[in-house]
Structure 1
Amino acid sequence: MGADKNGEPGAGFIALGICETLAKSAVELGWKNPTPIQEQSIPHSLEGKDVIGLAQTGSGKTGAFALPILEALLKKPQPFFGLVLSPTRELAIQIAEQFEALGATISLKCATLVGGVDMMAQSILLAKRPHVIVGTPGRVVDHLTNTKGFNLRSLKALVLDEADRLLNLDFEQEIDQILKVAPVEGRRTMLFSATMTSKVAKLQRACLSNPVKVEVSSKYQTVDTLRQQYVFVPAKYKDCYSTYALNELAGSTCMIFTRTCEATRKLALLLRNLGFDAIPIHGKLSQPKRLGALNKFKAGERSILVCTDVASRGLDIPSVDLVLNYDIPINSKDYVHRVGRTARAGRSGRAISIVTQYDVELFQKIEHLIGTKMEQFPAEEDAVLLLLERVSEAQRIATMQVRESDFKKGGGKKRAGADGDDGHAADAHGGFNKKRKSRQ
């Protein structure tokens, strides 16, 4: 970490070549000293070189590209100076917020272009000629195609953040379209990725010129303060074991990862029917609902966030106590990103993976990747099976709620919470919570 040699706030950033105004903004944002990725990449970016930064989530990548862009803008302000491409709406919004916070004292204008938000409202923002645009590739291409007066002819800085994720989500075609209309001369390009895949290497060759490679951690490591456990279960009892683990670790803030939007939706309903304050976030929720769910979780109004991998990368969520892998990720590297949500900044944390008979090979690949044999989570089978009746009833009600919600989507008013997005679904249904109370 960069030390404040003079004892003055922001001295570490000033030593890298960042001006005092921006260094002060960084400190006010809680960045006391530069992180390793910032220390290694910022000086090269300030020299106008193309940069490839390989670093894990939570390593300070946003500062590594935002500060040099703002520094260059200070010297020569112009509209449409920088474009940052992000794989998800939430991450794009978060990056834009950090740009706005860092650039507040220099009158920065920033526009966010993401799906799920009205195109016309975004066109009005573009008409104000912002300095920096942050967006998802699909929506940026939509505006390049349809919004009069918007082009990238004056672009001086291009950032591809979470590049491995961008390519995994099949944005290659949109990125190609953007690269075709972006100038090559006088443009610096910064590519940040947690992993160097063959697709990322191909993208690097297509859009970077003599790049400087900066690597903070080449090994897929999980931090020492993370306790990694697994429980081997028959697939039919997966919900019982998940419920048992949550009961055993009651009071913990938790992120639960599933593979699909449907599993996220149904599991959130199931858990709420069992009395847990779970809330889902996945790609099929509207933008306001996704942000609402995130904000409730961050504010502590909900203690369990059930999510797909869309939420596992880069989101500014404070460290959680527990990560529960309800579904084992197909891509082993996604495991590292998931469990990176806990045991952050030296705090301890725990990750539990629910491994069924169908997941053994995937689980072994994860252990091989991280170079660690996980310990078994102690779960008494008899105690777990005592939950079977309650969990089965909660499953039945959750299935009914999903069907009811899907049926009503075509017409009529959908009941609050039927998608698991919020509200107290079980209470609204007159279902499991009430039944459970009547049995006591």
Structure 2
Amino acid sequence: MAAELANERGDARQAAAVKAFEALGICTQLAESAAGLGWKEPSEIQTQAVPLVLKGQDVIGLAQTGSGKTGAFALPILQQLLDTPQPFFALVLSPTRELAIQISEQFEALGAGIGVRAAVLVGGIDMMAQAIALARRPHVVVGTPGRVVDHLTNTKGFSLRALKHLVLDEADRLLNMDFEQEIDTILKAIPRLFSATMTSKVAKLQRACLRNPVKVEVAAKNTTVATLRQEYMFVPAKYKDCYLVFLLTELAGASTIIFTRTCDTTRRIALMLRNLGFGGVPIHGQMSQPKRLAAMNKFKAGERSILVATDVASRGLDIPSVDFVLNYDVPVNGKDYVHRVGRTARAGRSGRAVTLVTQYDVELYQKIEALIDMKLEAYPAEQEAVLVLLERVSEAQRIATMQMKETDSRKRGRKSAVDDDERDAEGGARGGKSPPRKR
């Protein structure tokens, strides 16, 4: 009886979700796909943007990270594709490979019931395989600007002349990453732009290619969500790794992303944690694309509870189960802080973020507080309790440094140092020592 009641309640919730998405102007099939992804109701950005895009308006959308921006442009594009099916209907540009792959997966999930085909064009993957995917004439192309331009130049039969929709996701970062020349090449043949974020640089694009755009803003710029608990730890620089390990032992079992500033720091931290027995994987720009995807998939699937990453993982990626974000390095750009901590507390969930602040980071930290207009709480930690771990952490640091030197000197054949680091980190996750316990 209880099971039947639970099923009835579940069916009622599903029906209510479908009805809410249909009210935006999309068909039942797409509404059912959205509900099937666990979307209980349209988010605020979806409620405002979807009807406007369906009317054919150019839209500039601004919303907090984790607010459903991808659905806000994917749903109306798929609806219009269903009304007038054609290949190369939409192009989505993304600043990172991982985000491009994720957007493609969401298009395919939402469009599964209507047979949508998507192709991903990103670096680090064989161009011939991507050319074959383009030859199948996909409805939606998602890619990074440089690789899209490569295919426009070199892949026979690939043209965007009939394109109906262009999306610039994370537009501010696309332009900050010096993709302006590539984007300009693409824009010359494309009339539409939906931008998930907006900066003064994007305003230049607005003047160049948008026709009477509607600005949809559902949150103040550079704000964080109310369900996110944000804290800091003021730590001596020489004991920074010790405080990191202390935090990880305090929050044992939590799904955690550790953000660092450089690839080398990511490598070193991943190896150090490996030597302490923590199950974690690194992801950074020097890793091969298959390795990056494998690390991300292991973290998403819960096979590894810790992801050590540069800002390549800070934007757009939707990993619902992240409990904790730890800023090992204070980001130089305050906006990157907002996007880093936005990896947790997504879609109404709660989350926690802690930033390690050394004596050299005070000015950067103060700029972040000014940007988000709030004072962070101090995370309580007694230095005496932290330094109990010093001996084990120092030994793990020493071994990690030695391992990095060894792998950097073993660059032979097709094997790279960063691949060796990935292998070592994986080996440690399976067979390393136990994580240190607090005493």
TM-score (structure 1 length as normaliser): 0.91
Where in structure 2 are the equivalents of 1:145-294 lying within 5 Å?
Answer: 145-180=153-188, 182-184=189-191, 188-193=192-197, 196-294=198-296
Query: Is this contact kept in 2: 1:319–1:341, CA < 8 A?
Result: no
Residues 3-59 of structure 1: CA deviation (Å, up to 9, x unaligned): x99954411121111112211222122223211101101111011110000012211
Matched, 1:375 2:383: no
Counterpart-to-counterpart distance in 2, 1:143 and 1:225: 42
Counterpart-to-counterpart distance in 2, 1:156 and 1:12: 26
Matched, 1:57 2:46: no
Counterpart-to-counterpart distance in 1, 2:300 and 2:32: 26
> Counterpart of 1:329 in 2: which secondary structure?
coil
> Of 18, 21, 31, which aligns to 1:13?
21
Aligned to 2:8: none
When structure 1 is superposed on structure 2, of 267-276 and 27-36 the one drifting more is 27-36
Query: Is this contact kept in 1: 2:64–2:225, CA < 8 A?
Result: no
Aligned to 2:79: 71
Matched, 1:104 2:108: no
When structure 1 is superposed on structure 2, of 158-167 and 366-375 the one drifting more is 366-375
User: What one-letter code is carried by the residue in structure 2 that aligns with 1:341?
Assistant: R
Matched, 1:365 2:373: no
> Of 319, 322, 325, which aligns to 1:323?
325
Residues 257-315 of structure 1: CA deviation (Å, up to 9, x unaligned): 00111111111111111111121111111111111111111121111111111101111
Counterpart-to-counterpart distance in 2, 1:5 and 1:382: 51
When structure 1 is superposed on structure 2, of 42-51 and 70-79 the one drifting more is 70-79
Residues 109-153 of structure 1: CA deviation (Å, up to 9, x unaligned): 211111111100111111111111111111101100110111111
Residues 385-437 of structure 1: CA deviation (Å, up to 9, x unaligned): 22222111111111111111111113486799731454224988xxx849x9x
Residues 340-388 of structure 1: CA deviation (Å, up to 9, x unaligned): 1223344332211110111100101111122221122122112222222
User: What one-letter code is carried by the residue in structure 1 that aligns with 2:196?
Assistant: F
> Of 96, 107, 131, which aligns to 1:123?
131
Counterpart-to-counterpart distance in 1, 2:342 and 2:239: 27
Paired positions, count: 425
User: What one-letter code is carried by the residue in structure 2 that aligns with 1:25?
Assistant: S
When structure 1 is superposed on structure 2, of 46-55 and 338-347 the one drifting more is 338-347
Counterpart-to-counterpart distance in 1, 2:53 and 2:418: 49
Residues 70, 397 of structure 1: CA spacing in aligned structure 2 closer, same or farther, 3 A cutoff?
Answer: same
User: What one-letter code is carried by the residue in structure 2 that aligns with 1:294?
Assistant: M
When structure 1 is superposed on structure 2, of 69-78 and 419-428 the one drifting more is 419-428
Residues 36, 97 of structure 1: CA spacing in aligned structure 2 closer, same or farther, 3 A cutoff?
Answer: same
Aligned to 1:423: 426
Counterpart-to-counterpart distance in 2, 1:397 and 1:96: 40
Aligned to 2:337: 335
Counterpart-to-counterpart distance in 1, 2:291 and 2:233: 32
Q: What is the percentage of aligned positions where both structures have the same residue?
A: 70
> Counterpart of 1:315 in 2: which secondary structure?
coil
Q: Which runs of 5+ in 2 are unaligned?
A: 1-11
Query: Is this contact kept in 1: 2:228–2:351, CA < 8 A?
Result: yes
Residues 113, 371 of structure 1: CA spacing in aligned structure 2 closer, same or farther, 3 A cutoff?
Answer: same
State the shift of 1:168 in Å.
Answer: 2.0
Residues 14, 389 of structure 1: CA spacing in aligned structure 2 closer, same or farther, 3 A cutoff?
Answer: same
> Counterpart of 1:57 in 2: which secondary structure?
coil
Residues 39, 415 of structure 1: CA spacing in aligned structure 2 closer, same or farther, 3 A cutoff?
Answer: closer
Counterpart-to-counterpart distance in 2, 1:414 and 1:281: 15
Counterpart-to-counterpart distance in 1, 2:14 and 2:38: 18
Counterpart-to-counterpart distance in 1, 2:82 and 2:143: 22
Counterpart-to-counterpart distance in 1, 2:413 and 2:32: 53
User: What one-letter code is carried by the residue in structure 2 that aligns with 1:325?
Assistant: N
User: What one-letter code is carried by the residue in structure 1 that aligns with 2:251?
Assistant: L
Counterpart-to-counterpart distance in 1, 2:414 and 2:158: 40
User: What one-letter code is carried by the residue in structure 2 that aligns with 1:110?
Assistant: A
> Of 140, 144, 152, which aligns to 1:144?
152
Counterpart-to-counterpart distance in 2, 1:260 and 1:76: 46
TM-score (structure 2 length as normaliser): 0.91
Query: Is this contact kept in 2: 1:5–1:12, CA < 8 A?
Result: no
> Of 21, 33, 37, which aligns to 1:25?
33
When structure 1 is superposed on structure 2, of 215-224 and 360-369 the one drifting more is 215-224
Counterpart-to-counterpart distance in 2, 1:336 and 1:273: 31
Counterpart-to-counterpart distance in 2, 1:5 and 1:324: 35
> Of 37, 40, 46, which aligns to 2:45?
37
Query: Is this contact kept in 2: 1:417–1:423, CA < 8 A?
Result: no
Query: Is this contact kept in 2: 1:95–1:134, CA < 8 A?
Result: yes
Counterpart-to-counterpart distance in 1, 2:85 and 2:180: 30
State the shift of 1:96 in Å.
Answer: 0.8
Q: Please give the root-mean-square deviation of Cα atoms over the aligned residues, in Å.
A: 2.4
> Counterpart of 1:176 in 2: which secondary structure?
helix
Residues 297, 412 of structure 1: CA spacing in aligned structure 2 closer, same or farther, 3 A cutoff?
Answer: closer
User: What one-letter code is carried by the residue in structure 2 that aligns with 1:192?
Assistant: A
Q: Which runs of 5+ in 1 are unaligned?
A: none
Counterpart-to-counterpart distance in 1, 2:24 and 2:348: 25
